[in-house]
Structure 1
Amino acid sequence: MRAAVVFRRHASGALAAPAACRRGFATGSKLQASYGFIGLGRMGYPMAKNLRTKIPESDTMIIHDVNEASTAKFAKEVGNVTIAKNVREVAEKSTTIITVLPEPSHVQSVFGQVLQPPTLLTEAPNHHKRLFIDCSTIDPKTSSEVAEAAHASGQGRFIDAPMSGGVVGAAAGKLTFMIGASDSVLERATEVLMMMGKRVIHLGPQGSGLKGKLANNYLLALNNVATCEAMNMGVKWGLDPHKLADMINTATGKCWPSEVNNPVPGVVEGSPASKGYEGGFGTALMLKDLKLALKAGQEAGIEPQLGSYAKDIYAAVEKDESCKGKDFSVVYRFIGGKE
């Protein structure tokens, strides 16, 4: 359901964690040192857990998810949190609010409720105002519309900060965040994100993080299909998959799907392929990101040549009962790879 609110329409490089967390935004008023977290799914739950663990005990944290069982589990397992009845309550009680949501429509709906009515406290100095950090992977256009609504309301600053690293990285606190933000909120955002990850890359103004994330995942989607096809060719030609993978990973074909997430079972111990293609990055999520990248490309007048073919492959994989719901390396099984 779409939100009631009407949305209108420099520096880059990796940022290390500050030597000492100044937390200047977390002292002074009753709302400072207060964190809100909306979305406790597969990624959000471990991210929120790391955040609560690393902020001072005296800081407050307010959580919300449409799945009440998830918030109840979090409160029992992690503790020292307040469960909000709705997203508006999260916004009213927090000055730093992190959202991790599945689709563009969810982000629109949540911020429609967060920003209306436009009466969130705004008396604090500018650098103390609310900071909305959206870690959802959505299209840049929707993100920019939500950002404009937040900024026009005068109730806070909005940045996009999609992440890479998967569920394993989220649990280990080793995510990489790609952020689109103005320089004025960069240090504050970095301090927060480094409590949930290991690296923050500032790609430019609002919207830049998502553009970088979608470009990366577009390439990942294609690399995965190509790796599955190359490994299938080699195995069918009689090559040993371990030796083939070793050769590729010391030659020009080396990529993340060949080295870390190799699609042939047994080649990489502990990989999804070696566990029945369970865990990892689901095919449905890859298909979603690929569609978002293609849509954003078309809106910018770009016509990607290979993406549409890959999209059809991932869509077909999701319809195959032996592959549906598996890690995206299951493309190898789908094309008849020897397991």
Structure 2
Amino acid sequence: MFHIGYIRVPRSTWSVGRRFYSSEIQKKTIGFIGLGQMGYPMAQNLHKATKSTHRFIIYDNNAGATTKFTSSNSDTKAVSTPRDVAAESDIVFTMLPASAHVRAVYEGSDGVLEGVTPGVVCVDCSTIDVRTARDVAKNVEAKQAVMLDAPVSGGTPAAQNGTLTFMVGAPQSQFEGVKEFLQKMGKNVFYCGENGTGQAAKICNNMMLGICMVGASETFNLGLRLGLEPELLNKILNTSSGRSWSTDTYHLVPGLNPNVPASKDYEGGFGVSLMAKDLGLAVSAATEVKSSVMLGSAAEQMYKIIAGTEGYEKKDFSVVFRWLGGEKIGKGKGK
């Protein structure tokens, strides 16, 4: 026998996936741990889409974040520890800054592993190293529970708009049962393979992202020094072979797009320290499998320096354009 929602049923009667969406079960419970810049809007979207069918409980070590969430979502419940979330939930989502935080939340005192029961599904949306993802998955499975790594791409705008891309590593038999929840927070959900492959896909994506942002910043820096107006150069790039997400969506030059961090003094968004962390994960993984990543290594070193530069520590990663001097050049119109 094991517990689902408010009733007890024989284990032989149910599959893990069925516990999520069978109409025979009354109220199921979703738990969400980690209400930071990404986690908060993700939790908001998930709660909004499931509040008629699920209970919703939250935890964050920042009491202000949980108070804010429960104040605007009165039907949610804040609890004191990750253990409490796991003990009351049928499915648990975590969105945390780094590998150390994931290990602490799952494996630490009053962590998820102390409260999780057989059949519960845990979905970690953090970006962490592949080894940690696989280690935590083994520990969750030892509790007869299920673990999926499902890191995301798209940044805070996509988290707010519910248009994230999820890259999922998990036993394929568990993927479909969780996909419907991920689709409430994103528009693209990819199955990548067994545990850890979601993280592998994510660090490859973010290495490309970091490299492209540096390349775009150097390009605009050069163009402005040669006398080109940023608006014109941006139009040319986006109708030519130099187009990238950094030029057509997440514009790095202030004023090209009023809705991105560059036009808000590089506040919000994806921090330089997080980009440095993700590039470090990619470089470490490349070292383990003996893959050459010269541009990835160069981008990592650049972002480490930026993250350690006074006034840049908490800025969005597109601030590399300012760090290179591009903003001053723009104000000087190429002189």
Tell me which amino acid in the other structure corresponds to 1:303.
Answer: S
Q: Check if 1:178 corresponds to 2:167.
A: yes
Shift of residue 207, structure 1, vs aligned partner: 1.0
Structure 1 partner of 2:305: 316
Cα deviation code 1:53-83 (max 9, x no counterpart): 1114352112111112211221111121122
* Equivalent residue number for residue 247 of structure 1: 236
1:5 match: none
Which aligned pairs between 1:128-277 and structure 2 lie closer than 5 A?
129-154=119-144, 156-277=145-266
- Fraction of identical pairs, as percent: 40
Instruction: Give yes or no for contact 2:20–2:28 (8 Å, CA) kept in 1.
Output: no
- Give secondary structure in 2 for the equivalent of 1:153: coil
Structure 1 residue 301 displacement after superposition = 2.2
Deviations, residues 101-156 of structure 1 (Å, cap 9, x unaligned): 11111111111122237xx443xxxxxx21110001100110000001111221x1
Q: Is 1:326 equivalent to 2:321 in the alignment?
A: no
Closer, same or farther: CA 28–106 of 1 in aligned 2, 3 Å: farther
Query: Aligned partners of 1:85 and 1:225: how far apart in 2?
Result: 41
Deviations 1:278-327 (A, max 9, x none): 22221111111111111122122223111221112112212222433212
1:28 Cα deviation after fit: 5.2
Q: Given that residues 18 and 177 in structure 2 are in contact (C-alpha distance below 8 angstroms), is that contact kept between their aligned partners in structure 1?
A: no
TM-score for the superposition, normalised by structure 2: 0.87
Q: Give the equivalent residue in structure 1 for 2:30.
A: 35
Matched residue of 1:179: which SS? strand
Among 95, 100, 104, the alignment partner of 1:105 is 100
Confirm or deny that 1:284 pairs with 2:273.
yes
Name the CA distance, whole Å, in 1 between partners of 2:37 and 2:271.
Answer: 12
1:121-132 equivalence runs, <5 A: 121-122=117-118, 129-132=119-122
Cα distance, 1:328 vs. partner? 1.3
Tell me the distance in 1 between the aligned counterparts of 2:29 and 2:22: 7
CA-based RMSD: 2.0
Give the match's secondary structure for 1:202: strand
- Which residue identity lines up with residue 97 of structure 2 in the other structure? P
**Residues 91 and 270 of structure 1: is their aligned pair in 2 closer, same or farther, counting only changes over 3 Å?**
closer
Partner SS state of residue 314, structure 1: helix
Mean CA deviation greater in 52-61 or 223-232: 52-61
Shift of 1:29: 6.2
**How many residues are paired up?**
309
Partner residue, 1:11: none
Residues in 2 aligned to 1:230 and 1:289: alpha-carbon distance in whole angstroms: 23
Structure 1 gaps, min length 5: 1-20, 123-128
Alpha-carbon distance, 1:216 to partner? 0.5
What is the aligned partner in structure 1 of residue 10 from structure 2? none
Residue 186 to residue 268, structure 1, CA distance change in 2 (3 Å): same
The letter of the residue matching 1:63 is I
- 2:276 & 2:124 partners in 1: Cα distance? 21
Alpha-carbon deviations, 1:230-257, whole Å to 9, x = none? 1111110112221111111111111111
TM-score by length of 1: 0.86
Q: 1:58 to 1:243 in 2, by over 3 A?
A: closer
Pair 1:54 & 2:44 matched: no
Instruction: Confirm or deny: 8 A CA contact 1:26 1:33 kept in the other structure.
Output: no
The SS at the match of 2:294 is coil
Report how far residue 226 of structure 1 moved: 0.8
- Going from structure 1 to structure 2, the CA distance change for 1:226 and 1:101 (only over 3 Å counts) comes to same
> Does the CA-based 8 Å contact 2:152-2:166 persist in structure 1?
yes
Give the 3-state SS of the residue equivalent to 1:321 in structure 2: coil
Q: Which amino acid aligns with 1:211?
A: A
